[in-house]
Amino acid sequence: MKLKNQIKSLLKYVLLAPSGYNTQPWKFRLGDDTLEILPDYTRARINTDPEYREFFMSLGAAAANLQVAAEHFGLAYEKFYRLDDKNHDYAIVFKFSKNLSPPSYSPLFSAIKTRHTNRFPYLKENIPKNILADLKKVPHSNSVELNLVTRPGDLTLLSKLIQKSFNLWYRNQLMVEELETWLRDDLEISQDGLPTSVLYLYKLGVNAKYFLLKDDPELKNRSEHYQTLAKNAPALCLISTKADTVENWFQAGEFFELFTLTLAVHGFAVDFFNHPLTMKKTRQESATAFSSHLLPQLLFRFGLPTVVPPRTPRRPLRELLIS
């Protein structure tokens, strides 16, 4: 098989990477011995992700899947970032070699197909020490930091911050309206976005506008629900970086995906709590709560799921390839 076709065959694993709101904000330029992961700005969330942090972290997650798949099939590569701030030209570039390397039979490869975000409650069980040890071994750049909280008192404190942030977030009309554009009814056939059952919000797409009303009971119920999920989580994690740069966001996304693949190997799922990180004040409060001096990028819980919903859909490769 030609090297170009071998590279193309890896893309079915890359497509399974997570992305904010399942926007899948990527394009791929395939060469004879190269693959570029490129941003698709038409899928940016300008109100809920105005700095493009989650946007570029999604590309980093896709790159992590490509690395795992390439190593599994013995395809040697070099990776570098194209970072042209002046022209807003960004990409994660892989240059492959015709010389095969020994295949890597890492369990992370199988986890690509089982990893997914799960917003249902998790079993309230302590994280085994061997899993915590595996998580500490996940490689990351010196610009990336992980903080992990498991103590009940700390979880309670953070759950209150998550509830407060949820209430503030859903008072912002532009944010709510943008969320609605990415929600998909359970009966709707779609290749992107968030099915409401997967979100554990059911008819949020119909009722979201009412969250803008003062003292709306549905908003109160949802914020308390999120607080309970956080408080009862076996662990809460914060990924931070030294700077708010595209390079650091790429690296944070790569680390996050390797971290969640490691969790998936053990049957664990993750769920995001990024509401506090979209607002300046609560973003700083999140860093303080985790005793971090860096810039928070992703806040999430993990645990053993009580319900396993279907995977969120993916766009077909033919729509994503650039010749």
Range ranked top by mean pLDDT from 102-106, 236-240, 313-317? 236-240
End residue of a domain, out of 92, 115, 138: 115
User: What is the DSSP-derived secondary structure letter of residue 310?
Assistant: P
The rounded distance, in Å, linking the Cα atoms of 144 and 146 is: 7
End residue of a domain, out of 115, 148, 174: 115
Confidence band of 202 (pLDDT split at 50, 70, 90): very low
In a domain, 182, yes or no: yes
In a domain, 109, yes or no: yes
- 142 & 108 share domain: no
In a domain, 73, yes or no: yes
Q: What is the arithmetic mean of pLDDT over 149-174?
A: 92
- 49 & 133 share domain: no
Q: Label residue 229 exposed, middle or buried (CB < 10 Å: 0-12, 13-18, 19+).
A: buried
- 67 & 143 share domain: no
CB atoms within 10 A of CB 105: 10
The overall average pLDDT reported for the chain is 91
Q: Provide the pairing of β-strand 183-184 with 194-195.
A: parallel
**Predicted model pTM:** 0.94
pLDDT cut 90: percent of the chain above it: 78
Q: What is the pLDDT of residue 208?
A: 53
In tens, the pLDDT along 75-87 reads 999 999 999 999 9
In tens, the pLDDT along 222-251 reads 889 999 999 999 999 999 999 999 999 999
Q: Among candidates 76, 49, 60, 53, which has minimal Cα distance to 26?
A: 60
Confidence band of 215 (pLDDT split at 50, 70, 90): low
In tens, the pLDDT along 248-280 reads 999 999 999 999 999 999 999 999 999 999 999
In a domain, 123, yes or no: no
E strand segments, the chain:
26-30, 34-39, 75-84, 89-100, 144-149, 183-184, 194-195, 235-241, 269-272, 295-303, 321-322
Task: Specify the CATH number for the domain of residue 95.
Answer: 3.40.109.10
- 25 & 161 share domain: no
Q: Among candidates 107, 37, 38, which has minimal Cα distance to 71?
A: 107
Has residue 35 got a pLDDT over 90? Answer: yes
Confidence band of 105 (pLDDT split at 50, 70, 90): confident
Structural domain boundaries enclosing 276: 129-303
Confidence band of 28 (pLDDT split at 50, 70, 90): very high
- Identify the H or E element spanning 59: helix 53-72
- 292 & 176 share domain: yes
In a domain, 311, yes or no: no
The answer to whether 271 and 319 have CB atoms below 8 angstroms apart is no
Specify the number of domains making up the chain.
2
